[in-house]
Amino acid sequence: MRYCPFIISSLLLAMLSCTQAQPISDLPEDINKPQDTPAGRSAEKRGVCFSTSANNWANRVVSLKANWYYNWGNDDVTTNVEGVEYVPMIWGHTMVNKSVCDRINQMYSEGKIFYVLGFNEPDLKEEANMTVAQALDDWEFLCNNLDKRIKLVSPAPSYPSRQWLVDFMNGAAARNLRVDYVAVHIYAGIGTSIYESAIRDVYNKFGKQIWITEFAPRDDNASSNGYNSYTMEPQVLNFMKTVVPKYEEMFEVFRYSWFSPGSETGMIGLQTSRLTAGDGLSLTVLGNYYNTIQPNDNAALPTP
């Protein structure tokens, strides 16, 4: 069969235009259904979260050999760290606008991002503080204005079993709004079983893989007592050595990110869960273990 030069050149152009980003972002429709093979799950689950205002935040991402990171924002910070995937977040109502969507779409078109995280703890007044109705209206705006190929991760409530999440997911389904993954936070005591069972419950309820975007053992009595009753070693370290490998094995968990306070002051209930010292340049015993789980050896600071 003979082919005209125009057709041949068009085919070659189409082949050359494919990028490494496409297999990541253009996932099949059944991404959340269990398979006999690893298809539909992320082989690089372990991430970190640090505000870009934290001391040496980029050094922290690199030293922890993270596979992905987020910073509760959506400015393009990808020039600060190389070899690590950035995931922007729409933190709350004030970030739901056309300029933010345009910025995220631009990052996607440049192959820099593939997912977007939804609202941060909208069930809490001191965080995003959104009613379900407002969140659904804002979510519809995001669905209409973000590139359809970007995968959308739901708002993350402060605990997996919050009714807020149930109402949001039911409302999204009723409006036929796209939610590709479900995000949750989980802070509990030093026990380990709830960190697994609560996540399985969310997956079974919604049938979507979970992003655990914040988790760590937290002493909720620390603020009133004035001290944290959990020791970093051996208590929190033993906890991490049990829960993190479990998340690596669980199909229900698509990605996870341990929460580490950005400084050595404040958040007394989480101080013994720190991955790095206050200077951001040295790892705690927790950080030294965490960075051995599916380590990303390509993580690096940009070359001067």
For the chain, what are the domain ranges? 40-290
SS (H, E, C) 137-160: HHHHHHHHHCCCCCEEECCECCCC
How many Å apart are CA 213 and CA 236, to the nearest integer? 18
Q: List pLDDT tens digits, range 165-207.
A: 999 999 999 999 999 999 999 999 998 899 999 999 999 999 9
Select from 218, 221, 214 the least CA-distant residue to 127.
214
Can you tell me which residue has the tokens 């407002």?
134
pLDDT digit string, tens, across residues 241-277: 999 999 999 999 999 999 998 776 679 999 999 999 9
Average pLDDT over residues 158-170: 97
Query: Mean pLDDT across the stretch 35-45?
Result: 54
Question: Which residue pairs from 174-180 have beta carbons closer than 8 angstroms and sit at least 24 positions apart in sequence?
Answer: 175/136, 175/140, 177/136, 177/139, 177/140, 177/143, 178/143, 178/152, 179/139, 179/152, 179/153, 179/154, 179/208, 180/27, 180/31, 180/32, 180/151, 180/152, 180/153, 180/208
For the 40-290 domain, the top CATH level (class) is alpha beta
Number of H helices, E strands in the chain: 10, 8
First to last CA, the chain: 54
Q: What residue ranges in the chain does DSSP mark as E strands?
A: 46-49, 68-70, 85-86, 115-117, 151-153, 182-188, 210-217, 253-258
CB count, 10 Å around CB of 35?
12
Judged against a pLDDT cut of 60, whether residue 1 lies above it is answered with no
* DSSP assigned state of 253: E
Radius of gyration of the chain (CA): 20
Question: In the predicted model, what is the mean pLDDT of residues 110-126?
Answer: 97
Kindly tell me the sign of the dihedral angle through the C-alpha atoms of 88, 92, 93, 95: negative
C-alpha 4/C-alpha 8 separation (Å) is 7
The owner of tokens 């995001």 is 142
